[in-house]
Amino acid sequence: MHILILGGDGYLGWPTAMYFSGKGHDVTVVDNYFRRNACTELDCGTLFHVPSLSERAAIWQEKTGYTIQVVIGDLTDPEVMRSFFTGDVTYQWPSNGAVCAPPDTVIHYAEQPSAPYSLLNYKYANTTISNNLLVTNNLMFALKDLKPDTHVIHIGTMGEYGTPNIDIEEGWLEVEHKGRKDTFLFPRQASSIYHTSKIMDTDLMWFAVRTWKLRITNLMQGPVYGLETDESKIDSRLKTIFNYDEIFGTVVNRFITQAIVGYPLTVYGQGGQTRGYLNIKDTLQCVGKAVQTPAKQGEFRFFNQIMETFTVRELAELTCTVGRSLGYDVVIRSVENPRKEAEEHYYNPVYHGLLDIGVIPHYLTEEVMKEIFLLIAPFKDAIRKDVIFKGIKW
């Protein structure tokens, strides 16, 4: 299969590229280096230096013999998006790369992924909305015009649903109203501009499926944690970008980093916020299973991509237990919540669809968290305390 990964330089994009390449698929990655550039612009700090995409693809080829083709381009430009389906694409690596056939599958990660970034101010809100919606819309039109049988896997977010006082279904809800029934997208109520942009993505994709009979899987993902995947073990330079700062770091990765550097764990507010979490290894498994069992033509398929739920307080306590067992002096400090979100709420999402197609979860046990501690610990001296909490409010 030829798999095109939009956003192939990100936290999830690069591990996904290695995962499919290692299984013998033809893989092309495209990225505009948004994440790296934003980290530099906003002085976020990352745990370690990450080689460029071309450098990583060269290391990958040297170690495994597999080629990952690299394109540096901005997918908000419709011509860049369309070039992958017309064969007019310009490869950065390998420089003599033969032009590939159009992809069979597109995995769409090419979005600004941070809620705090989207609420820094109106400028960053606009960047989030324009990037995320234009990339998705360009993809929908490229498929409609050039290759409607391509299976798209879009990484959505559980945050689209918010924290409703009813159980969260996988994408759809059957509603009975005045004696009649119909099925609708599950009600959405996001708590950031970033999450709202993902709701609008979903609406664009649902329009495209209804109107042009495209085939799309929307993976409604919770916060991801972890650093290592089977492929990144091959060479330390293949590790994915790792953020622990307030803007791009997700909570579990942040807490472990904070514990290592002796920074009190930043539990926002009461810490009763409940989310569904998954290991980065399970993101790869889920995407892998979704590729193997694609949506049908004209189907908009949803999976809730989480493996288990935790409150923030539970995550902080787990980090404390594991950190102390490793000799770190870990303390928890509740800080005034910079976000507008429910701090104690009902949360009962359904998430059996991915298990039904064969995903076997890696749960966040003490042992698993210890492994992540041991991967981050060697970078202790590089951890910057000044980027951990700046209090980006909304």
> Which residue among 83, 138, 157, 279 contacts ligand USQ (CB under 6 A)?
157
Q: How many CB atoms lie within 10 A of CB 258?
A: 27
Q: Contact between 48 and ligand USQ (CB under 6 A)?
A: no
What region, left, alpha or beta, does residue 345 occupy, with left being phi > 0 and alpha being psi -120 to 50 degrees? Answer: beta
Which CB, 169 or 341, lies closer to ligand USQ?
341
Task: Convert residues 105-134 into a mask of x (bound to ligand USQ by CB under 6 A) and - (unbound).
Answer: --------xxx-------------------
Residue 107 corresponds to which tokens in the numbers above?
A: 């995995």
If one asks whether residue 341 binds ligand USQ (CB under 6 A), the answer comes out as yes
Q: How many residues of this chain bind ligand USQ (CB under 6 A)? A: 21
Minimum CB–partner distance for residue 265 and ligand USQ (Å): 8
Residue whose CB is less far from ligand USQ, 308 or 341: 341
Per rule CB under 6 A, is residue 304 in the interface with ligand USQ? Answer: no
Q: Is 154 in the site for ligand USQ (CB under 6 A)?
A: no
State the minimum distance, in angstroms, from the CB of residue 24 to ligand USQ.
30
In sequence order, the β-bridge partners of residue 106 are: 4, 152
Contacting range for ligand USQ; rule: CB under 6 A; set: 55-63, 78-86, 261-269, 295-303:
261-269
Cβ 16 to ligand USQ shortest distance, Å: 15
Q: Is 194 a catalytic residue?
A: yes
251 binds ligand USQ (CB under 6 A): yes
Nearer to ligand USQ, 104 or 308 (CB): 308
How far is CA 329 from each of CA 267, 301, 324, 374, rounded to the nearest angstrom? 17, 46, 6, 15
Residue of 238, 312, 318, 383 interacting with ligand USQ (CB under 6 A) = 312
279 binds ligand USQ (CB under 6 A): no
Q: Which of 198, 239, 281, 289 is catalytic?
A: 198
Q: Is 183 a catalytic residue?
A: no
Q: CA–CA separation, 229 vs 378, rounded Å?
A: 17
Give the integer Cα–Cα distance in Å for 349 and 276.
8
The two tokens of residue 62 are: 């040297």
Q: Does 50 bind ligand USQ (CB under 6 A)?
A: no
Q: Which position among 194, 244, 263, 347 bears the catalytic label?
A: 194
Contact set for ligand USQ, span 169-198 (CB under 6 A)? 195
Query: Shortest Cβ distance from residue 271 to ligand USQ (Å)?
Result: 6
Among residues 341, 345, 342, the alpha carbon closest in space to that of 394 is found at 341
Q: Is position 40 annotated as part of the catalytic site? A: no
Query: Which residues are tagged catalytic?
Result: 157, 194, 198
Binding site for ligand USQ (CB under 6 A): 113-115, 157-159, 195, 221-223, 250-251, 254, 266-268, 273, 275, 312, 339, 341
